[in-house]
Amino acid sequence: MGNLIDGRSIAEKVYVDLRREIADLKSKGVTPGLAVVLVGDNPASRTYVRSKDKMSRELGLHSVKLELPASTTQSELLARVEELNCDPKVHGILVQSPPPKQIDEGAIVRALDPRKDVDGFHPLNVAKLAMGDPTGFVPCTPLGVQRLLIESKIDIAGAHVVVLGRSMIVGKPVALLLMQKAKGGDATVTVAHSRSKNLEEITRSADILIAAIGRAHFVKADHVRDGAVIIDVGINRMDDKTNERGYRLVGDVAFDEVAPKAKAITPVPGGVGPMTIAMLMSNTVKAARMFSSA
């Protein structure tokens, strides 16, 4: 399909650049290091952690995968985070969300050294994004969305971007990123959520619609104007008896009916997902560069 934004091939392009940067850092004696911490045995989290660890190994990073039992206490986890904060071989730390319920996720994020917070969730990095300070870390999914738009040569400056969803992981940071007075920004951004009135009217006014609500096939053809660019962040399970797992992954956008109207559209899977991991690797390399000032 001519209007498909292929996240896998754009991620490959990112990796080509990253490999060059990693080689350069290594020639200066610095191997970027990423620690991924999984607490408990949530199957989706386990899959995410495995892919992140696999990719960082493939790129030749120093990769630490910590798998802690579901019974891990808050103070045990804080102690492990502190060890990683102090480990000079580790430049990036990620604690996979969601943790078991005895863990206060906010407190864990605040305990991270913000210079190693490659997920961009520490309050200092949130503030830096809001302030437009490029020394901070931007969350990986929003960064991936922006990169997809840039690589697909879609004009962001002056465009009306409608973001569906206002989470701290996707909706809010992607809105902040695309409205920044900077390259890859300068959009006019509207953020809509579950309390928004006249949702269809709002989404139909979008030049670029970013769906991040976690509702399978929520965005229909009527939500979209002809020629809009559609970025589907959603990852939802839909029952599918023809699939051996009994389900398949679908986005927040009803792809089949929306795609014919769209100027460009991301598929699920194979759109935003691969970019999220690519941006995690990119943030880790950035952290290593900043630590070593290389």
Interface residue list for ligand NDP (CB under 6 A): 141, 164-167, 169-171, 192-195, 212-215, 233-236, 272-273, 276
Q: How far is the CB of 174 from ligand NDP (least distance, A)?
A: 9
C-alpha–C-alpha distance, residues 212 and 204, integer Å: 16
Cβ distance to ligand NDP smaller for residue 24 or 105: 105
Which residue's CB comes closest to ligand NDP?
167
Cβ distance to ligand NDP smaller for residue 69 or 98: 98
Among residues 5, 293, 292, 289, the alpha carbon closest in space to that of 146 is found at: 5
Cβ distance to ligand NDP smaller for residue 126 or 170: 170
Choosing from 117, 119, 207, 252, the catalytic residue is 119
> Helices 7-27 and 272-292: crossing angle, nearest 10°?
20
Per-position b or e across 8-20, b if 16+ CB within 10 A of its CB: eebbeebbeebee
Cβ distance to ligand NDP smaller for residue 153 or 195: 195
Q: How far is the CB of 133 from ligand NDP (least distance, A)?
A: 23
- Confirm whether 207 is a catalytic residue: no
Choosing from 96, 113, 117, 207, the catalytic residue is 96
In a 3-state reduction of DSSP, which class is residue 68?
strand
Q: Which residue has the tokens 């798998």?
A: 67
- Confirm whether 52 is a catalytic residue: yes
Other beta carbons less than 10 A from residue 284's beta carbon: 30
- Confirm whether 146 is a catalytic residue: no
Q: How far is the CB of 201 from ligand NDP (least distance, A)?
A: 13
Spatial contact of 118 and 283, defined as CB atoms under 8 Å apart: yes
Q: How far is the CB of 269 from ligand NDP (least distance, A)?
A: 9
How many whole angstroms from its chain centre is CA 245? 25
Residues annotated catalytic, as ranges: 52, 96, 119
